[in-house]
Structure 1
Amino acid sequence: MSSSSLTRRGRSGDGDGDGEGFLASISRSPIVVRGKEAAGDAVTAAKKLLRSTGKAAWIAGTTFLVLVVPLIIEMDREQQLNELELQQASLLGTPPPPPPPPK
């Protein structure tokens, strides 16, 4: 390596000797600072959205388990009971009862 390449590599910045690099000066520019703030705001909003979506999913899931699942189980039991009554009626030779009116 030549001594001129060592001098260029050892020095940072544009040669004014203040020790500041090109990337450091760009990273403090108003555009970059504003971009970092916008990215931080976007991350914060995404976290809040994800948290609230998770809470809503939890509420919907537990409500479904508490209210809808027992209803489905009861409807299934009622259907099985009706089928059993029809089966017994056909075995005993009695005419099947009329179907219940729709609700």
Structure 2
Amino acid sequence: MHWILLFIAGLFETGWAIGLKYTDGFTKPLPTVLTALSMIISVVLLGLALKHLPVGTGYAVWTGIGTVGTALLGIWLLGEPATVARLACIGLIVAGIIGLKLAA
């Protein structure tokens, strides 16, 4: 259950990271509110997960999920480049997340 909370927290981290782009410097009210809510939900879920997971592992997995999700959505939604090197580095982050999960 704690890993599920951590995964969902990572998804919300991705949401607020991408949401920052849509706030236009916090000048658009709806994207700003949704981004702020995503931030709060993400951190609360992270906190709940860390009650039962090692902090170093939990935080690294949380940021890894957010990093991978943000990079992939940046490619898909924002037209960022999807070079072989970039995709390989995303794959390395995924491998690290899996490694940390297995090592915990």
Q: Could you tell me the TM-score, scaled by structure 1's length?
A: 0.26
> Which structure has the larger Rg?
1
- Larger RCO, structure (CA 8 Å, separation 6 or more): 2
Q: Could you tell me the TM-score, scaled by structure 2's length?
A: 0.26
Higher helix fraction (1 or 2): 2
